[in-house]
């Protein structure tokens, strides 16, 4: 099928003006001025025309940190969170996801994560996974990190490896350094990112090991992406220094904007503060941490239970950054598209360019709400109606 999206304002995420996009067989076939179709053509070809007048067209969003097969469990077994459904991702514009394991890398493992990623893929979106979890030594699917990254298409890196957290393995710097080196080299040999995704906890030594790697090895900062950098003041400050020596930063969007903890920043505020501190926009990405467990607060700010990180927070924070902080659409969209694709070496993702994958989000110009979503060349959401659903979703 050919899809023609007409008259939208295109943010690729760089602004290209009002143009038409043609999608064919899961690829962007081209971006043109005012494409005209003769009625004859419609008799011979299966063409769907979408009128995007008054709308913004952007690349499909990439969420690089989602517990797709569930997470949590820190409050005993009943606090294990459920798997994600594809509609929760697609309805929020997420067309590419990187699945990972967190605290529980024991009852959940890489094979289960791989199976869930394959399921989402079959249902209609692009998926990748990291090997490992919080723990060091890393529990792999095959016999090594290298073999996981080199031999399993879906595996693009390692993580989330926990540092500066009471739930981490309290491993040595030497062990951490070896993981980063192995992932990087396997990435080089297989044409993948080979990134180590580093979970930063509330401990007193955020990014300590990352800076040590930069001081004592030849490995560049881009191979370690710290996440949850907006969780407290000290971590945030050190992360700014890390970006200034070439590191890329991952801001977590899943916190409760009504009950932001002391020192914590909601993601859109963190984005503004990073830009104000002189961090180049290219170094910044968002991830939702969806299906991770989250504390729930009452009106007095007391913890009354455990909730779940949500995929809806990813675009919620992008929208908030544009509307409230007046960050440009180009910059705000880049933290969930082009920047993320660049950081993880996803070559056909994150930009609206001829030959790239046909992952597209159409947004209403007036209220910036998502109208349509196209994933792998199929219309997944149209006029906010979910067309692609999970196998067991009603």
Residues that bind Zn ion (CB under 5 A): 160, 199
Least separation, in Å, of the C-beta of 174 and Zn ion?
23
Q: How far is the CB of 139 from Zn ion (least distance, A)?
A: 17
The residue among 236, 248, 238 whose CA lies nearest residue 285 is 248
- Closest to Zn ion by CB, 199 vs 351, is 199
- Polymer length of the chain: 394
Q: Which CB sits closer to Zn ion, 88 or 160?
A: 160
Q: Where are the beta strands (DSSP E) in the chain?
A: 2-11, 15-24, 27-32, 47-51, 55-59, 61-66, 94-99, 126-131, 155-163, 195-200, 224-227, 249-252, 284-287, 293-297, 303-308, 360-364, 370-375, 378-382, 385-386
Q: Which is nearer to Zn ion, 160 or 269 (CB)?
A: 160
289 is catalytic: yes
Question: How wide is the angle at C-alpha 138 spanned by C-alphas 135 and 239, nearest 5°?
Answer: 60
* Annotated active-site residue in 20, 63, 148, 289: 289
Is the CB of 199 or the CB of 266 nearer to Zn ion? 199
Those residues with Cβ within 8 angstroms of residue 225's Cβ, 6 or more apart along the chain or in another chain: 64, 195, 196, 197, 198, 247, 248, 249, 250, 285, 343
Which residue's CB comes closest to Zn ion?
199
Q: Measured from the CB atom, is 160 or 359 closer to Zn ion? A: 160
Smallest distance from Zn ion to CB 338, Å: 24
Judge if the upstream peptide bond of residue 233 is cis by omega within 30 degrees of 0.
no
The position carrying tokens 């949850």 is 228
Are the beta carbons of 196 and 161 closer than 8 angstroms? yes
Closest distance of CB 214 from Zn ion, Å: 22
**Min separation Cβ 66 and Zn ion, Å:** 11
Give the residue among 270, 267, 271, 293 at the shortest CA–CA distance from 281: 271
Q: Any idea which residues carry the catalytic annotation?
A: 289
């Amino acid at each position: 099928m050919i899809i023609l999206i007409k008259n939208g304002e295109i943010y690729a995420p760089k602004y290209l003006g009002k143009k038409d996009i043609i999608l064919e067989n899961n690829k962007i076939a081209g971006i043109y001025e005012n494409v005209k179709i003769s009625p004859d053509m419609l008799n011979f070809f299966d063409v769907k025309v979408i009128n995007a007048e008054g709308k913004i067209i952007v690349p499909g969003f990439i969420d690089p940190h989602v517990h797709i097969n569930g997470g949590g469990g820190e409050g005993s077994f009943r606090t294990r969170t459920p798997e994600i459904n594809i509609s929760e991702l697609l309805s929020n514009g997420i067309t590419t996801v990187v699945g990972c394991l967190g605290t529980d890398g024991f009852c959940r493992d890489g094979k289960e994560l791989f199976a869930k990623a394959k399921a989402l893929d079959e249902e209609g979106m692009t998926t990748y996974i990291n090997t490992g979890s919080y723990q060091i030594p890393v529990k792999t699917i095959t016999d090594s990190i290298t073999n996981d990254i080199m031999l399993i298409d879906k595996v693009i890196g390692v993580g989330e490896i926990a540092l500066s957290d009471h739930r981490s393995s309290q491993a040595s710097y030497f062990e951490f350094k070896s993981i980063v080196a192995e992932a990087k080299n396997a990435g080089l040999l297989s044409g993948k990112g080979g990134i180590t995704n580093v979970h930063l906890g509330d401990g007193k030594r955020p990014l300590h090991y990352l800076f040590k790697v930069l001081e004592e090895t030849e490995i560049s900062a881009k191979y370690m992406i710290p996440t949850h950098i907006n969780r407290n003041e000290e971590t945030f400050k050190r992360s700014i220094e890390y970006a200034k020596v070439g590191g890329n930063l991952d801001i977590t969007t899943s916190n409760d904007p009504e009950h932001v903890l002391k020192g914590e920043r909601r993601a859109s505020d963190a984005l503004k503060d990073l830009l104000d501190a002189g961090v180049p926009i290219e170094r910044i990405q968002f991830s939702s941490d969806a299906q991770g467990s989250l504390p729930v607060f009452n009106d007095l700010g007391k913890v009354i239970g455990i909730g779940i990180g949500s995929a809806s927070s990813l675009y919620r924070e992008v929208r908030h950054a544009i509307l409230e902080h007046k960050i440009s659409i180009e910059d705000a969209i880049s933290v969930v598209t082009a920047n993320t694709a660049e950081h993880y070496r996803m070559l056909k993702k994150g930009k609206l360019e001829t030959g790239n994958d046909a992952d597209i989000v159409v947004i209403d110009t007036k209220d910036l709400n998502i109208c349509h979503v196209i994933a792998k060349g199929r219309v997944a959401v149209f006029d906010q109606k979910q067309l692609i659903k999970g196998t067991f979703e009603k």
